[in-house]
Amino acid sequence: MDKVVVITGASAGIGAELAKQLVAKGAKVVLAARRKAELDEVAAKIGKDALAVVTDVTKRGDVEHLCRAALDRFGRIDVWVNNAGRGISRAIAELSDDDMDAMWRDNMKSVLYGIQAVLPHFKSRNQGQIVNLSGGLSRAPLAPARAA
């Protein structure tokens, strides 16, 4: 697999595991997350086929920088994975406006910023894939403490 894949939320969990599996299949990965130490650790385990870029996906400028860094290092992007996200463990009666604003910013705006950053590159090449991850709770909130 000769692909360059950008993965947000790559300092742990699904993002880190996805990166490891993709590199094992021959891809190059660009890892994005806020936590520098954890991100660098994942990149070090992967090796030369990984680029770590500290990124706060809730900031448009950071996401645009991520896209430029990937292009500067690898010359192209084939796949962009919007994986970063958050949940709030609180009953619906306890949720505040700030909670909901943070959920919108972290889970929706971050996806928009990723799509908008990479789309011009994909259009210029007439190819590319965007993968947006979400949890099952986003469609059916089965856990009362995860109502947001």
- In tens, the pLDDT along 59-77 reads 999 999 999 999 999 999 9
Does 142 score more than 80 pLDDT? no
Q: What are the φ/ψ torsions at residue 76 (nearest 5 degrees)? A: -165, 165
pLDDT at site 148: 59
Does 146 score more than 90 pLDDT? no
Q: Where are the alpha helices (DSSP H) in 1-148?
A: 13-24, 36-46, 60-74, 97-104, 110-125
Indicate the pLDDT class of residue 134, thresholds 50, 70 and 90: confident
> What whole-number distance in Å separates Cα of residue 89 and Cα of residue 110?
20
129-132 vs 50-54, strand pairing mode? unpaired
The alpha carbon dihedral of 34, 37, 40, 42 has a sign of: negative
Counting Cβ atoms within 10 Å, is residue 95 exposed (0-12), middle (13-18) or buried (19+)?
middle
Sequence ranges of the domains in the chain: 4-134
> What CATH class is the domain 4-134?
alpha beta
Does 116 score more than 90 pLDDT? yes
pLDDT at site 143: 57
Indicate the pLDDT class of residue 90, thresholds 50, 70 and 90: confident
- Residues 20-63: tens digit of each pLDDT: 999 999 999 999 999 999 999 999 999 999 999 999 999 999 99
As a dihedral over the C-alpha atoms of residue 61, residue 62, residue 68, residue 70, rounded to 10 degrees, the angle is: -160
Q: Average per-residue pLDDT in the chain?
A: 92
- Asked which of 68-77, 86-95, 97-106, 122-131 is least confident by mean pLDDT, the reply is 86-95
